[in-house]
A and B are shown apart, each in its own frame.
Chain A
């Protein structure tokens, strides 16, 4: 038996598609190429197989995703994850929030920030810097124009450089994209033991 996970958690659930993923046995050459499937690499997640229905988007999105989240310079990786978490909490993408809260905790070697966010939401007790970052990410996610000049001023006041602010905008916006795939096209599920 499986159940759908409805509460925020750092324990990453399984993602179950709401439609039929591409079947590798009948995939087109373009799909196989975008999936990087070779005789020695046939393991592809259901999520990526689902996105392979639109192979042109899949091909451009993966390098963009990696550049925004992992390229050197600018904002720290953990703070970019905070942008991702802010977006995922607004959009209630349980799966995305879990993956990126887990990454944040591992990068910081500390679960305090994500514990606080998952138990108290926007009222979590955060450092001034994390508060400014999270609030900006939350508002930008609620609506494109919901973040205000005051929110921007606060980012500068707590010491973010222009390069860091740009990375925060990009990582938050990127999860506006990812959430609209992950949360819309599938369910986060967990196996029930002994049910």
Chain B
């Protein structure tokens, strides 16, 4: 994938000008960011979280995080899990209420996460490996959202 086709740069609309020049000096980082997206959105060992579900959760975070263009991209890959991308859905219909509650909290109220949030997932029979997978998904998406939002501010401020 060429540099400006990576999700973060394409979503932020960076291809020419001074911001693109700055980004070229960190091309390795933008390519590694794309590799990280592939690892969390479409891993070989997906555990309890299908690729569709992962895309839906990322879309949900992007929507509640105020970056709808990124939400649209992930929503296109969410398949039957698409309803979960709506921040108003609680996941009960899919039997995923505990997952949705955890994702919302880890994404948007990180400072409030406590040991009981992890033991709650364990009590709901989520394996330790799946808890780590879920955290990586949420954590990567939080990173990518901020890269996109920051690049947009740079682009807006470029004279």
Q: Is the CB of B32 within 8 A of A67?
A: yes
B26-42 residues with Cβ-Cβ distance < 8 A to A are: 26, 28-29, 32-33, 35-36, 38-40
State whether A57 touches B66 (Cβ < 8 A): no
Count of residues in B whose CB is under 8 Å from the partner chain: 59
Which residues of A148-195 have CB atoms within 8 Å of chain B's CB atoms?
148-149, 151-153, 156, 161-163, 165-167, 169-170, 172-174, 176-181, 183-185, 187
Are A152 and B153 CB-contacts (below 8 A) given A53-B128, A143-B65, A162-B18? Answer: yes
Encoded as 1 (CB less than 8 Å from any A CB) or 0, chain B from 103 to 135 comes to: 000111011010101110010000011011101
Asked if B95 is at the interface (CB within 8 A of a chain A CB), the reply is no
Cα separation A125 to B151 with both chains bound (whole Å): 28
Q: State how many angstroms separate the Cβ of B90 from the closest Cβ of chain A.
A: 21
- A68 and B29 contact, CB distance less than 8 A: yes
Residue pair A177, B140 in contact (C-beta under 8 Å): yes
Pair A57/B136 contact, Cβ less than 8 Å: yes
B111 partner, pick from A51, A91, A165, A187, beta carbons under 8 A: A91
Q: Is A25 located at the chain interface by the 8 A CB criterion?
A: no
- Complex contacts, A54 vs chain B, CB 8 Å: 43, 47, 129, 132-133, 136
Fill in one digit per residue for B8-38: 1 if any A CB lies within 8 Å of its CB, else 0. 0000000000110111011011001101101
Give bound CA distance, A181 to B20, whole Å.
30
The total number of A-B Cβ pairs within 8 Å is: 174
| Shortest distance from the beta carbon of B73 to any chain A beta carbon, whole Å | 15
A interface SS class: helix
A166 engages B43 (CB within 8 Å): no
Q: Describe B's contact surface by its main secondary structure.
A: helix
Q: Is the CB of A90 within 8 A of B139?
A: no
Interface string of A29-60 (1 = CB under 8 A from B): 00000000000000000000011011111011
**Quick check: is B82 within 8 A (CB to CB) of the other chain?**
no
Contacts of B56 in A (CB 8 A): none
B131 in complex: contacting residue of A91, A185, A187, CB < 8 Å: A185
- B146 pairs with A176, CB closer than 8 A: yes
- Asked if A13 is an interface residue, CB under 8 A from chain B, the answer is no
CA distance A179 to B74 in the complex (A): 23
Q: Given B33, B122, B140, B153, which contacts A57 in the complex, CB threshold below 8 Å? A: B140
Q: Does residue A1 face the partner (Cβ distance < 8 Å to B)?
A: no
Q: A18-B115, A144-B145, A180-B106 are in contact. Are A152 and B43 (CB under 8 A)?
A: no
Cβ–Cβ contact B106 & A177, under 8 A: no
Chain A residues contacting B139 (CB-CB under 8 Å) are: 176-181, 184
Chain A: CB-nearest residue to B35: A60
Q: Interface centre among A54, A55, A147, by most B CB within 10 Å?
A: A54
Residue of B nearest to A63 (CB): B32
Residues of A within 8 A of B136 (CB): 51, 54, 57, 61, 181
- Known A-B contacts: A90-B111, A169-B151. Give 16 more (CB < 8 A): A19-B132, A54-B43, A54-B133, A59-B39, A71-B26, A74-B26, A140-B149, A143-B66, A144-B149, A145-B65, A163-B22, A173-B142, A173-B143, A173-B144, A176-B146, A177-B143
Chain A residues engaging chain B, CB cutoff 8 angstroms? 18-20, 50-51, 53-57, 59-61, 63-64, 67-68, 71, 73-74, 90-93, 140-141, 143-145, 147-149, 151-153, 156, 161-163, 165-167, 169-170, 172-174, 176-181, 183-185, 187
